[in-house]
């Protein structure tokens, strides 16, 4: 029973506490009914979050429960409702069951709903002649997926963007497409033709979106490289992706600082570079290598008159996803993969024409291309902020741009909560948030929903190799913090224990085929990575994915992190082997094992290093500096645990699972 003093203890003054107590005592009915009324009529975004938590715990007790309940208008407006009614189905569960049982019919309807443009229509939606591991989609078609990104009215805003401290700027679909055509024309003038690979190593800007789609319009393929990588990691991706040229910036402006980028490309011995200025005024900050081109010089060529159409299986984008060995996996996307991006946004995020969609990300991660296709295939506007999303300026941009769907990563929300930087921001235009890249912390997700008047956060779990998700919440079902209320339409899954038996909590496996699932890895054996040694369901081989998944109830899931040796740090996927290779080269280090450890209470993974050392002293600052310089400055070591030896299997493999089970120790502060 809540007392008057409990409310005062949350930071509410005595008079308001008395008024609130009367409203709370008037609540009746089962917990879900009481919470729904409390969220709708009692709690406000400007109330202290402690008050929201107090009522939530008092109403639900220790079990927890949904904090968002869809209103009839939410359900009526949703694309997912329209599809269900077209099919005459009476529930979301029935719709999901249909989407995985009748996969060809589901994807055929999805292609039509997204209005995918074809130069030559497909003769067969799905061909399994080469087996379940190598499906062929849209057989016989000719298309260029970039053309399907320009179906909105030409005068509609394609991109709304803002530089740190600058005004809100807009670019129409007409202007964006004209710039894409100039990029494609510039590539042709340099002698690049269909099938050749062109890297993009720069922030997510209006120009980089035009470059991305322009490369694809020219029939070439994008090699995507995140702008945060150090020179050795850039070099590895250029080599694996066989890039013939690269688009980049001289510097990145962020947090009032100029961060060098072009010099890292030079250190990586990049091929021909086309360099954009990172500053609005003043030109380039660096002298270019002989042969490299200034952006303005590159754009002098004539625009490409028409996009180059080709086979649906032609590569359009090489993306990288770290596995459990040193080099990252190089996963090619084709003209087909973007359909999955558009589908997830269409059905689950419920993106409509004219919506404004944002997700702080980069073209080097799958969410960069995902964001382009999620917005443009659904005729929505893309919103880009050229600054730190952990500072208040980003929230002010969200408010000014009228963003309706905002994607986040859990560590970003944790920062917002710890600093309070988003409190007072008007989130009323937002219909939904979404989060991916890390495991969510329930309290942090509840905090964000409370700030936005209890709009939902749609959990999203998948990967580059799926071009989207296999678990993804929806707006038409109640949402509990850090919990999935649905699997993704068109993508079935199985949860298996260590014996390969189906269970309620274990490793998640996918049931192929589905649009978006990879069929090739450029530098690995695809079968070995995803199918070797995997059980079957009803005679169909399952597909390995690597997440630990728990089914809480029918259609309700929670993800507990990776089951393999890959990890997500700050929304960036990296392998233990990549980190260990850098650390094992340091003086005095005998060997290391890197694990991603869940913090107490859940949430974004912490990077913990177990180290065998020559002298026994913890070299945390040296290790942190090595990771920043050779891998990524965004990776932060939470703790170095010095041990005499690492646990190993009979075949001498390090048992990282054992290390995870024996952590945590007393917490050490993260290195800043």
Rounded Cα distance between 602 and 585, Å, is 32
Averaged pLDDT score across all residues of the chain: 92
From the centroid of its chain, how far is CA 423? Answer: 24
Q: 66-85, pLDDT tens digit by residue?
A: 999 999 999 999 999 999 99
DSSP 8-state code for residue 149 = G
Q: 379: pLDDT confidence band, cut at 50, 70 and 90?
A: very high
Q: 616: pLDDT confidence band, cut at 50, 70 and 90?
A: low
Q: Which of 299, 297, 202 is nearest to 250 (CA)?
A: 202
pLDDT, residue 619, reads 81
Residue 67 token pair: 């904090």
Q: Determine phi and psi for 370, rounding to 5 degrees.
A: -55, -45
Q: Determine phi and psi for 425, rounding to 5 degrees.
A: -70, 140
Q: Which of 382, 371, 380 is nearest to 352 (CA)?
A: 380
DSSP 8-state code for residue 145 = G
Burial class of residue 126 in the structure, from the number of CB atoms within 10 Å of its CB (0-12 exposed, 13-18 middle, 19+ buried) = middle
Residue 35 token pair: 């919470």
Q: 311-338, pLDDT tens digit by residue?
A: 999 999 999 986 444 678 999 999 999 9
Checking if the pLDDT of 457 tops 90, the result is: yes
From the centroid of its chain, how far is CA 349? Answer: 13
Residue 439 token pair: 């495991």
Task: Name every residue whose Cβ is closer than 8 Å to that of residue 513 and which is 6 or more positions away in sequence.
Answer: 103, 126, 128, 132, 135
Given the DSSP bridges, would you call strands 405-408 and 432-435 parallel, antiparallel or unpaired? parallel
Report yes or no: 442 and 398 within 8 Å, Cβ to Cβ.
no
Checking if the pLDDT of 622 tops 50, the result is: yes
Checking if the pLDDT of 644 tops 60, the result is: yes
Q: Which stretches within 513-633 are classed as H helix?
A: 526-530, 576-584, 620-630
Rounded Cα distance between 326 and 408, Å, is 28
DSSP string, 122-136: -SEEEE-TT-TTS-E
How far is CA 563 from each of CA 66, 496, 567, rounded to the nearest angstrom?
A: 27, 12, 9
Rounded Cα distance between 191 and 139, Å, is 30
How far is CA 511 from each of CA 109, 137, 461, rounded to the nearest angstrom?
A: 20, 16, 15
pLDDT, residue 250, reads 96
Given the DSSP bridges, would you call strands 468-472 and 457-463 parallel, antiparallel or unpaired? antiparallel
Q: 226-263, pLDDT tens digit by residue?
A: 998 999 999 999 999 999 999 999 999 887 788 999 99
Q: Determine phi and psi for 135, rounding to 5 degrees.
A: -70, 150
Rounded Cα distance between 436 and 64, Å, is 22
Q: 530: pLDDT confidence band, cut at 50, 70 and 90?
A: very high
Q: 95-118, pLDDT tens digit by residue?
A: 999 999 999 999 999 999 999 999
Q: Which stretches within 465-551 are classed as H helix?
A: 526-530
Q: 391-425, pLDDT tens digit by residue?
A: 999 999 999 999 999 999 998 999 999 999 999 99
Q: Which of 292, 300, 282 is nearest to 262 (CA)?
A: 292
Q: 424-452, pLDDT tens digit by residue?
A: 999 999 999 999 988 888 999 999 999 99
Rounded Cα distance between 369 and 567, Å, is 21
pLDDT, residue 326, reads 61
Q: 477-495, pLDDT tens digit by residue?
A: 999 999 999 999 999 999 9
pLDDT, residue 584, reads 82
* Contacts by residues 394-401 (CB-CB < 8 Å, ≥ 24 positions apart): 394/360, 395/421, 395/422, 395/425, 396/425, 397/162, 397/168, 398/358, 398/425, 398/427, 398/430, 399/425, 399/426, 399/427, 399/429, 400/162, 400/168, 401/160, 401/162, 401/168, 401/356, 401/358
Rounded Cα distance between 77 and 79, Å, is 7
């Amino acid at each position: 029973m809540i007392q008057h003093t409990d409310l005062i203890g949350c930071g509410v003054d005595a008079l308001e506490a008395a008024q609130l107590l009367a409203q709370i005592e008037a609540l009746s009915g089962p917990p879900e009914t009481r919470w729904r009324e409390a969220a709708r009529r009692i709690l406000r975004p400007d109330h202290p979050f402690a008050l929201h938590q107090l009522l939530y715990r008092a109403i639900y007790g220790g079990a927890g429960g949904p904090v968002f309940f869809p209103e009839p208008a939410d359900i009526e407006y949703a694309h997912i409702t329209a599809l269900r009614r077209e099919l005459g189905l009476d529930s979301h569960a029935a719709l999901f069951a249909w989407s995985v049982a009748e996969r060809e019919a589901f994807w055929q309807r999805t292609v039509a709903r997204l209005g995918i443009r074809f130069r030559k229509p497909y003769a067969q939606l799905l061909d399994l002649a080469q087996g379940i591991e190598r499906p062929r989609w849209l057989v016989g078609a000719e298309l260029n997926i970039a053309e399907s990104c320009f179906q909105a009215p030409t005068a509609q805003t394609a991109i709304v963007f803002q530089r740190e401290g600058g005004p809100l700027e807009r670019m129409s679909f007409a202007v964006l497409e004209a710039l894409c055509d100039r990029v494609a024309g510039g590539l042709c003038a340099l002698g690049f033709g269909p099938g050749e690979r062109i890297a993009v190593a720069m922030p997510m800007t209006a120009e980089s979106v035009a470059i991305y789609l322009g490369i694809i319009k020219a029939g070439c393929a994008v090699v995507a490289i995140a702008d945060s990588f150090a020179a050795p990691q850039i070099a590895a991706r250029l080599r694996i992706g066989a890039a013939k040229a690269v688009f980049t910036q001289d510097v990145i402006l962020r947090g009032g600082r100029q961060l060098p980028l072009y010099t890292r490309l030079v250190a990586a011995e990049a091929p021909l570079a086309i360099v954009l200025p990172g500053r609005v005024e003043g030109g380039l900050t660096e002298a270019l290598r002989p042969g490299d081109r200034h952006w303005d010089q590159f754009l002098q060529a004539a625009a490409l008159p028409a996009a180059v159409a080709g086979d649906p299986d032609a590569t359009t984008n090489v993306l990288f996803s770290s596995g459990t060995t040193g080099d990252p996996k190089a996963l090619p996307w084709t003209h087909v993969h973007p359909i999955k991006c558009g589908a997830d946004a269409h059905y689950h995020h419920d993106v409509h024409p004219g919506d404004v969609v944002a997700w702080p990300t980069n073209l080097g991660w799958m969410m960069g291309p995902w964001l382009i296709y999620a917005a443009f295939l659904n005729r929505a506007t893309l919103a880009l902020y050229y600054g730190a999303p952990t500072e208040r300026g980003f929230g002010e941009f969200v408010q000014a741009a009228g963003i309706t769907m905002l994607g986040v990563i859990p560590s970003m929300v944790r920062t917002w909560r710890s600093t309070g930087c988003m409190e007072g921001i008007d989130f009323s235009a937002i219909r939904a948030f979404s989060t991916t890249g890390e495991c969510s912390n329930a309290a942090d997700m509840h905090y964000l929903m409370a700030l936005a008047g209890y709009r939902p956060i749609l959990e999203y779990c998948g990967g580059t190799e799926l071009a989207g998700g296999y678990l993804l919440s929806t707006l038409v079902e109640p949402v509990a913090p850090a919990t999935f209320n649905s699997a993704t339409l068109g993508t079935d899954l199985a949860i298996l224990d260590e014996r390969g038996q189906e269970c309620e909590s274990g490793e998640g496996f996918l049931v192929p085929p589905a649009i978006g699932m990879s069929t090739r890895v450029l530098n690995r054996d695809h079968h070995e990575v995803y199918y070797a040694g995997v059980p079957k369901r009803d005679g169909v081989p399952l597909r390995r994915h690597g997440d630990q998944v728990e089914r809480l109830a029918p259609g309700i899931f929670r993800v507990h992190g990776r089951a393999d040796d890959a990890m997500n740090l700050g929304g960036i996927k990296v392998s233990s082997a990549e980190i260990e290779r850098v650390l094992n080269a340091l003086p005095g280090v005998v060997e290391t094992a890197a694990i991603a450890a869940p913090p107490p209470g859940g949430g974004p993974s912490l990077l913990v290093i177990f180290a065998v050392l020559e002298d026994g002293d913890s070299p945390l600052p040296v290790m942190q500096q090595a990771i920043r310089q050779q891998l990524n400055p965004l990776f932060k070591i939470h703790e170095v645990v010095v041990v005499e030896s690492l646990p190993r299997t009979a075949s001498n493999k390090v048992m990282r699972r054992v290390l995870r089970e024996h952590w945590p120790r007393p917490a050490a502060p993260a290195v800043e």
